[in-house]
Amino acid sequence: MIGRQQQLLRIDFEDAPTDVVLRDKLTHFNALLPDYDVIVLSDYNKGSLVNVAQMIAAGRAAGKIVMVDPKGDDFSHYAGATVLTPNKSELRRIVGSWSSEEQLTAKAQALREQLRLDALLLTRSEEGMTLYTADEIVHMQAAAREVYDVSGAGDTVIATMAAMLGAGMPMAEAVAIANRAGGIVVGKLGTATVTREELFGA
């Protein structure tokens, strides 16, 4: 629902996928796995990733980068992924609240270690995003000038980061470009895209 060119409310109508559809998805995933270097898994908590643990295990065993946009109250089935990309409310449901940056860092790093992740990327809306790895913590300031519609912003971030990692870019640099992409799309109305020219200049 849009008012004065800004998103006010989103309403979804949907049905859960059937068992047949879920079995077909896993078979299709396994067939496609050898052809790709980076895997992005996200189902918006709609029930389509009931086999996500198997998918992650298969991807990592095949040497793939596996990125997950997590949902729900239990992140344990995402264990072993390369990168997890929760937002603040999603992380808070898992680790509880925090009252300082230091406490947030401790909780984020503890979760990253517990789930055996290479990295945890916390998207923080107007606060930007923070990348937690075993070797570094990198914070990126929010890049948006004015927010019109946040629909698809998380998808843009994880997709851009996946593309950059697939091209061989170091993780911190990939996050910086993904942050820029997220800042661009929230300045557009609707589920928008970002172009190469917008990201890197003409």
Query: Could you list the active site residues?
Result: 155
What is the C-alpha to C-alpha distance for residues 153 and 130, in angstroms, rounded to an integer? 16
131 has which bridge partners?
121, 138
Residue 165, amino acid: L
Q: How, if at all, do strands 119-123 and 83-84 pair?
A: parallel
142 CB-near residues (< 8 Å, 6+ apart): 124, 125, 126, 127, 128, 179, 183
Cα separations in angstroms, 123 against 8, 49, 70: 21, 22, 12
